[in-house]
Structure 1
């Protein structure tokens, strides 16, 4: 009959047909393949052969690892996601959790053909847990990430240990071991691809240009006034790299006022730094970089007052612990001039002062260059670099060994006939003074870094003159040096105790280095730093 198949059988979709027997065989084949896949899945406990790992469940939350593709294909980066489901009333935390909480910690140890991961954090919300202001998520979170594939086209084996914190009326730490494997083959979208893309779209995009935040008030009353023209901002989350914490913002005309609840170097230590702010409002979010400046009303007293503060701050730096070993070197120069003529004493101390001021000019030039390049700079930032710390450790050990008489290094001569020793002493004083924060120094440096090259040069010159004032005082009254007794047994004892001061400062630098790299790496750096002194003593 027209329109019917020539043989009775089964009519399939899309116009294909086969006999009942053939359909049965194909059905049996599909069943066998499904059974084989199920057996393979059972053969690898806890590992998913699909694009999602099994859920790791606790009474407070569940978490799993998902992929946006069913296979690797020729991709050099995979889109994965860490999916959380939180029980009612329970919350987990953002990358900067606020005054309490911990962000999720990810460990990919044991993974194969998988490189570093870049996370895309969706915009968070603010909440209060146990009376503490915190930042994070509730109900559900999918944390998208791009993960490098070192060998595209080869299978991927993902092993992820995730440690995270869940809080309600109490806080419960959680740990989960997640695993999934993606085979080689076409990278077809998975069932989770849409969810990963949707949550990735919730990550705040960067603003087209950097913004500005002004510091107002002092001490506990300090706050950042963030200008957000044309934006209906409801909340703002500011990240300062562990240098400060911020409270709940309050609306002000044209933006938000954010209280500084804690600052490592005081609120003035934020001046000139670049912070990252996530701004939310109206269901939308953006990421804004903020350069911190002194508010106009706070800076209205003018450059003259700032220069006076810089001069006073530089003078006070002479009393800070960082400069203690340099004070020792100064005293050795002072003692070495005992009984010498006034002219020689004046020349020696003027050379030290010149070394200090010259070093501050170098710092001013570096600050101008960094500001022009759009980099965030601050007072003592070099002490955050392990290589610099290791170099300073070596230098201090060399100075201590020299004072103890292990070896002698003749002082060079340069700079138009000035003795190199005192000039280098001044440069060394500046180098060790930079990690110290004395009164007025933070305000002066912060003000300088938010102004132009001329203001930067003037303020750094004032700081240098302040640090050099004791030497300039002795240069003005050289009889102080000439009145000391000639070098003798008392200077030997003085050298010993000053060497101890230098060694103590080296020990302090070692603890700073250990806090950054761990004691094993710090011990290796100590051995390397001591090697030059040992070679010179041999």
Structure 2
């Protein structure tokens, strides 16, 4: 059985790797068609400018964003891969349009869009084939917002002229704002607005002038701009944002007048002093968000947790992690291993040490990957790997293999290559270390008491301190097993090995299969019932393949035929299920349930603006603790009545799929994983109450009594 851990570790690692696919000039999603374009009517010449561009064709009613997205959204980003010496400039952004959404206003684009970029060709370029690569990321929105990305590649043949998209590049150039010669502008703060004087316009605008601010976090995008024309001067009164976060010395904006769709760019020096900034934080522009007033304030507990205290919390949280339901399947495997070596003290100690090393190193490796992805701009938190349907499907396959192995359907020793089987025989401690890695993989959906605050601090510390906290977390998780291995008195509490272990081994297959059922349910929540059924079919095919590989056969030909049949069935099932694993993010699937409404920063802001308390359940389908609390404490009829009596707005933030907006809100609360339960009072005078991960009705009632 134990060689399975080697296969398990490889499977878990493979689940993190993206599917390799050939890149081309076009990427099509359900909402946009994007294409990498080149414009070089005179060819690619040394010392000249080459124009590249990303053309985005939106589905009706969908939009992407300008460089300042407005109240919410995310600007499209382009990361170029060019030959040495080629230098890409900034995007020449066309003039956007205003996109009102309730009380918010965004800046963006609909229908057909081109984002052109000038590229300076080096003086030493001697011609030849030119290979261009691009990684683009954009946020596309309708009623919901979906982060999308694409990798593009294009090759320009040597000495070729490329002008097939001249009309689109020319039309975009005509729609791009330009500086107005001879014009000047100044601004000053008057109360809660900017008074802007623009001089040098060719004539009085025939209608309303639109003001598009390039500076983020300064103006109220949705407020009406008052305007007046007198003595050749256009005066604009632009309301400031109540949550203003910047005080620029020079404002940059685009002015668009009727009949001038491209508009003019203006730089506006601010005369005099700005008033002091308010205490509210600005809404993050990285993801769809509400105005800053609805951003959750940071929770005091994690913010005040010292590094040494975080280490203590990490150790306690790791130890308590063994009591979380997600760890039970691997817990049974480890107990079985301890019983096996009860009479071999030296082997038990070595196995305990190897298991501890596997747990600690796996926590550090997973933390290192998380920190690296966050450093690259990804909004991720603890348990991020389970937000991938591919990883969940891989984990379901892994537990199916473990269950089949325990049930005696097949033995890896009979199918492993001789060299690998020999290596395993010489290095039995590798199995213990890999069992530690498996324990970390299945434990990551859980957050135990003390653990949430420690992880919240870890993700705000420099990498060495953060990795130290994760290492101590792993040490805490492994500590009970290491103690049993090191202390003879504890080891003697275990039953003696005997014939009963054969039946117990088969019995342990059923917790594995139960885990598979749970993982399939998680997959259904993340994707669709079709994807869940497709993966279930893959698991049936996997079981058939294992049976075929494990069935004794007298002739080599029969064994090969059985093995080939099993692998063909498995490959066919994977081929059919693979397309079904593409899923909509959790925001699309969030629906109201009884008294609960889907979470959004807008909903939080509206409730608090109305003076209502807010209770938020940060949850995920793959978090068993979350689901237990949801079906017990948070479904308690009397507690729901208490919420109603206090007029509390109940919101549920579903983190089953990656949602950077929820990740940001968890970070504001000093947390990096779920479950998290937070209660806000009716006004800002009361700090938010972050409740324990192990929730009780009395705990919630106590919190309600404080508001």
TM-score w.r.t. length of structure 2: 0.40
User: In structure 1, which of residues 351, 359, 363 is the aligned counterpart of residue 366 of structure 2?
Assistant: 363
1:465-503 per-residue CA deviation (whole Å, 9 max, x = no partner) reads 111111121122145445644433422332233211111
User: In structure 1, which of residues 380, 390, 395 is the aligned counterpart of residue 393 of structure 2?
Assistant: 390
1:249-281 per-residue CA deviation (whole Å, 9 max, x = no partner) reads xxx96431699xxxxxxxxxx9xx975545589
- Structure 1 residue 228 and structure 2 residue 232: aligned? no
Matching of residues 136-147 of structure 1 within 5 Å: 144-147=109-112
- Structure 1 residues 393 and 203, CA, compared in 2 at 3 Å: closer, same or farther? farther
Structure 2 unaligned regions, length at least 5:
1-53, 63-70, 74-95, 115-140, 145-166, 177-206, 218-242, 249-275, 414-420, 549-707
Please name the residue that 1:330 is paired with: 334
1:166-223 per-residue CA deviation (whole Å, 9 max, x = no partner) reads xxxxxxxxxxxxxxxxxxxx9999xxx99xxx99x78886849xxxxxxxxxxxxxxx
How many Å separate the matches in 2 of 1:515 and 1:353?
A: 34
Matching of residues 130-169 of structure 1 within 5 Å: 144-147=109-112
Deviation at 1:78, TM superposition (A): 6.0
User: In structure 1, which of residues 453, 457, 460 is the aligned counterpart of residue 463 of structure 2?
Assistant: 453
How many Å separate the matches in 2 of 1:122 and 1:280?
A: 20
**Matched length:** 334
- Structure 1 residue 302 and structure 2 residue 306: aligned? yes
How many Å separate the matches in 2 of 1:437 and 1:386?
A: 20
How many Å separate the matches in 2 of 1:399 and 1:79?
A: 46
How many Å separate the matches in 1 of 2:290 and 2:142?
A: 24
Matching of residues 384-463 of structure 1 within 5 Å: 384-410=387-413, 417=427, 419-463=429-473
Specify the SS of the correspondent of 2:303. coil
How many Å separate the matches in 2 of 1:365 and 1:487?
A: 39
- Structure 1 residue 490 and structure 2 residue 500: aligned? yes
How many Å separate the matches in 2 of 1:121 and 1:478?
A: 74
- Structure 1 residues 313 and 122, CA, compared in 2 at 3 Å: closer, same or farther? farther
- Structure 1 residues 125 and 415, CA, compared in 2 at 3 Å: closer, same or farther? farther
- Report if aligned partners of 2:244, 2:282 keep a CA contact under 8 Å in 1: no
- Report if aligned partners of 1:314, 1:465 keep a CA contact under 8 Å in 2: yes
Deviation at 1:144, TM superposition (A): 4.5
How many Å separate the matches in 1 of 2:60 and 2:494?
A: 73
1:45-102 per-residue CA deviation (whole Å, 9 max, x = no partner) reads xxxxxxxxxxxxxxxxxxxxxxxxxxxxxx965689759xxxxxxxxxx999xxxxxx
User: In structure 1, which of residues 372, 381, 384 is the aligned counterpart of residue 384 of structure 2?
Assistant: 381
How many Å separate the matches in 2 of 1:334 and 1:121?
A: 66
- Report if aligned partners of 2:320, 2:448 keep a CA contact under 8 Å in 1: yes
Deviation at 1:297, TM superposition (A): 8.5
More displaced stretch, 526-535 vs 385-394: 526-535
- Structure 1 residues 402 and 532, CA, compared in 2 at 3 Å: closer, same or farther? same
- Structure 1 residues 497 and 363, CA, compared in 2 at 3 Å: closer, same or farther? same
Deviation at 1:389, TM superposition (A): 0.9
1:498-521 per-residue CA deviation (whole Å, 9 max, x = no partner) reads 211111111111011112221112
How many Å separate the matches in 2 of 1:324 and 1:297?
A: 30
Deviation at 1:432, TM superposition (A): 0.5
How many Å separate the matches in 1 of 2:493 and 2:520?
A: 39
How many Å separate the matches in 2 of 1:324 and 1:454?
A: 31
User: In structure 2, which of residues 522, 531, 538 is the aligned counterpart of residue 521 of structure 1?
Assistant: 531
Specify the SS of the correspondent of 2:408. coil
Please name the residue that 2:280 is paired with: 256
1:376-395 per-residue CA deviation (whole Å, 9 max, x = no partner) reads 22100111111111110110
Deviation at 1:358, TM superposition (A): 1.2
- Structure 1 residue 342 and structure 2 residue 345: aligned? yes
How many Å separate the matches in 1 of 2:544 and 2:311?
A: 45
- Report if aligned partners of 1:341, 1:482 keep a CA contact under 8 Å in 2: no
- Structure 1 residues 297 and 348, CA, compared in 2 at 3 Å: closer, same or farther? closer
Deviation at 1:353, TM superposition (A): 1.2
Specify the SS of the correspondent of 1:374. coil
Please name the residue that 2:79 is paired with: none
Please report the RMSD computed on the Cα atoms of aligned residues, expressed in angstroms: 5.1
- Report if aligned partners of 1:78, 1:146 keep a CA contact under 8 Å in 2: yes
Specify the SS of the correspondent of 1:256. coil
- Report if aligned partners of 1:401, 1:533 keep a CA contact under 8 Å in 2: yes
Deviation at 1:536, TM superposition (A): 2.5
Specify the SS of the correspondent of 2:111. strand
How many Å separate the matches in 1 of 2:315 and 2:244?
A: 32
- Structure 1 residues 295 and 515, CA, compared in 2 at 3 Å: closer, same or farther? closer
Please name the residue that 1:116 is paired with: none
Structure 1 unaligned regions, length at least 5:
1-74, 84-93, 97-119, 127-134, 150-161, 166-185, 209-225, 232-251, 260-269, 282-289
How many Å separate the matches in 2 of 1:309 and 1:316?
A: 10
Please name the residue that 1:508 is paired with: 518
- Structure 1 residue 311 and structure 2 residue 315: aligned? yes
How many Å separate the matches in 1 of 2:97 and 2:353?
A: 56
1:215-257 per-residue CA deviation (whole Å, 9 max, x = no partner) reads xxxxxxxxxxx992438xxxxxxxxxxxxxxxxxxxx964316
- Structure 1 residues 334 and 373, CA, compared in 2 at 3 Å: closer, same or farther? same
Specify the SS of the correspondent of 1:255. coil
- Structure 1 residues 332 and 136, CA, compared in 2 at 3 Å: closer, same or farther? same
1:353-382 per-residue CA deviation (whole Å, 9 max, x = no partner) reads 111011012123213322332322210011
Largest Rg, 1 or 2: 1
- Report if aligned partners of 2:358, 2:432 keep a CA contact under 8 Å in 1: yes
How many Å separate the matches in 2 of 1:206 and 1:496?
A: 65
TM-score w.r.t. length of structure 1: 0.51
